[in-house]
Amino acid sequence: MTFTVHRSSLRIVAGAIAAAGLASLGVATLVGQQPPAGVAKPWTMPRTADGKPDLQGTWSNATITPLERPQSVSNLVLSEAEAARLEKTTSDRVERLNQDSDPNRPAPPQGGDGSTGAAGNVGGYNNFWLDPGERVAVVDGQFRSSLIVDPPDGRVPATTPEARARGQARLKMMAGRGQYDHPEFRPLAERCLLSFGPTTPLIPNYFYNNNLQIVQTPDNVMILMEMVHDARIVRIGGTHAPKNIRPWLGDSIGHWEGDTLVVETTNFPLQQPFRGAAENLKVTERFRRVDATTINYRFTVEDPTTFTRPFTGEIPFRATDELIYEYACHEGNYALSNVLSGARNEEKRLGTKK
């Protein structure tokens, strides 16, 4: 039995960054439906040899639009001015963090620098390592305040009593045990088993390497995520694996509905819950190429044993000619041994070792 503890913490932090940016807009104004400025070119759907829309290439799902809409923002759609302001805020921040430091700066404060969350009172590292996205998500010409479009409040629906009971049981199981006691208690990302944040559906992680490569054959569609070099191979026209086969990314089968690729994923592993859903989680993804540089990606998450209702989100995948680089995580994972040996070392220093 393995446990997942605190896996969601990074996601929450990431979401908070983006959500907080939006929240600063205050009361949302009425919607402008202007399509984005740009040069309109005649475009015809590129197709593969077997006549299907060609989804291939390298795509980025990075965006500053958060998964969930901040409660202070009421509309899904932002005006162009609001979107521009958010983007300006983002680029101003990068510029500010690029500024020189004081070469005579002392060591940071004894006792910690006051940072909380994932940065855990010790700060993190320089902003230049990050590449979280710079643009508000644009779907069908609309600037979006959240990736979730349904329910209408743009938020993950409430969980069921059953799901909360499962969460309680997990907590109970951890009672009396420390989160650094065993590698199995560490988050999946820290163990280099998966990326942080959801991997199916393809929600951006709001930190870095939000790149995807799609390779398409008549029988398979392969979706490579840069993070942790995870390739999900979707079998076109296939049937799901037996219920006891539960790959890390789930088991994906697909079919074409007109010009839309529809992918259904089930068989998620129990130790990899998406907001508490795993055993009965079903993710349906719809890939629709809408212009030369964009795939509209729509995902629906269902699990009646976890969520009080399904929810759906939309993310633009934008073509990029950047290269995808190897994210060989496990091989260089000094962090996990540092964390575990650090806990042992600290116990010794503090005399808490049993």
Partner 1 sequence: MTTRTTFSVLLLGAGLLLAGRTVVAHHAFGAEFDPNAPIRLQGKIVRLEWVNPHTWIHIETIKDGKPEIWMIEGGTPNTLLRRGVTRETVKVGTEIIVDGYQTKDHSLKRANGRDVTFTDGRKLFLGSSGTGAPKDGRDSTEPPAPKKPGGK
Partner 2 sequence: MITRRVVRELSVAVLTAVAVAAGFWSTTPATGQAARAARMADGKPNLNGIWQALNTANYDVLSHNAKAALAFRPGPVVPVPAAPLLALGAVGAVPGGVGIVEGDEIPYLPEAAKKQKANQDDWLNLDPEIKCYLPGVPRANYLPHPFQILHSDKAIFFAYEFAGAVRNIYLKDPGEAPVDSWMGQSVGKWEGDTLVVTVTGMNDQTWFDRAGNHHTEQMKVVERYTPQGPDHLWYEATIEDPGTFSRPWKIRMPLYRHINPNARLNQFKCVEFVEELLYGKFRKTPVQ
Q: How far is the CB of 232 from partner 2 (least distance, A)?
A: 10
Task: Tell me if 340 contacts partner 2 by CB under 8 A.
Answer: yes
Residues 247-286 that bind partner 2 (CB under 8 A): 247-248
Q: Out of 127, 168, 341, 348, point to the residue binding partner 2 (CB under 8 A).
A: 341
Q: Which residues pair with 298 in a beta bridge?
A: 286, 314
Token reading at 220: 């398979």
Contact 259, 285 (CB under 8 A): no
Q: Does 174 bind partner 1 (CB under 8 A)?
A: no
- Ranges within 150-179 binding partner 2 (CB under 8 A): 178
Largest CA distance in the chain: 71
Q: Does 142 help bind partner 1 (rule: CB under 8 A)?
A: no
Nearer to partner 1, 103 or 176 (CB): 103
Total Cβ atoms within 10 A of residue 294:
16
Please calculate the CA angle 81-87-91 and round it to the nearest 5 degrees.
140
Q: How far apart are CA 182 and CA 344, in angstroms?
A: 11
User: Measuring CA to CA, how many Å separate 322 from each of 135, 138, 204, 209, 318?
Assistant: 17, 20, 17, 11, 11
Regarding 319 and contact with partner 1 (CB under 8 A), the answer is yes
Pick the closer one to partner 2 by CB: 164 or 177: 177
Q: Which of residues 227-246 bind partner 2 (CB under 8 A)?
A: 228-231, 233, 235
Closest CA to 319 of 286, 290, 285: 290
Name the token pair of 138: 């644009």
The span of 146-154, 155-163, 259-267, 292-300 binding partner 1 (CB under 8 A) equals 292-300
**Pattern of binders to partner 2 over 175-214, x per CB under 8 A?**
---x-xxxxx------xxx-------------------x-
Question: What's the CA gap between 203 and 194, in Å, rounded?
Answer: 14
What residues form DSSP beta bridges with 307?
A: 159
Provide, rounded to whole angstroms, the least separation between the CB of residue 49 and partner 2.
4
CB distance 47 to 238 below 8 Å: no
**Would you count residue 346 as binding partner 2 (CB under 8 A)?**
no
Q: Cβ-count burial of 157 within 10 angstroms (0-12 exposed, 13-18 middle, 19+ buried)?
A: middle
Least distance in angstroms from the C-beta of 96 to partner 2: 27
Provide the sign of the torsion angle of the four alpha carbons 264, 270, 274, 277, taken in this order: positive
Which amino acid type is present at position 82? E
Q: Pick one of 31, 130, 174, 215: the residue that binds partner 1 (CB under 8 A).
A: 130
Residue 93 binds which one of partner 1, partner 2, none, with CB within 5 to 8 A depending on kind?
A: partner 1
Stretch of residues binding partner 2 (CB under 8 A), selected from 7-15, 97-105, 113-121, 324-332? 324-332
Q: Which of positions 4-63 make contact with partner 2 (CB under 8 A)?
A: 48-49, 54, 56-57
Q: Find the angle CA(18)-CA(24)-CA(26) to the nearest 5 degrees.
A: 125
Which of partner 2, partner 1, none does residue 248 bind to, with CB < 5 to 8 Å depending on kind?
partner 2
Interface residues toward partner 2, by CB under 8 A: 2, 48-49, 54, 56-57, 178, 180-184, 191-193, 213, 215-217, 219-220, 222, 224, 228-231, 233, 235, 247-248, 323-326, 328, 330-331, 336-337, 340-341, 343-344, 347
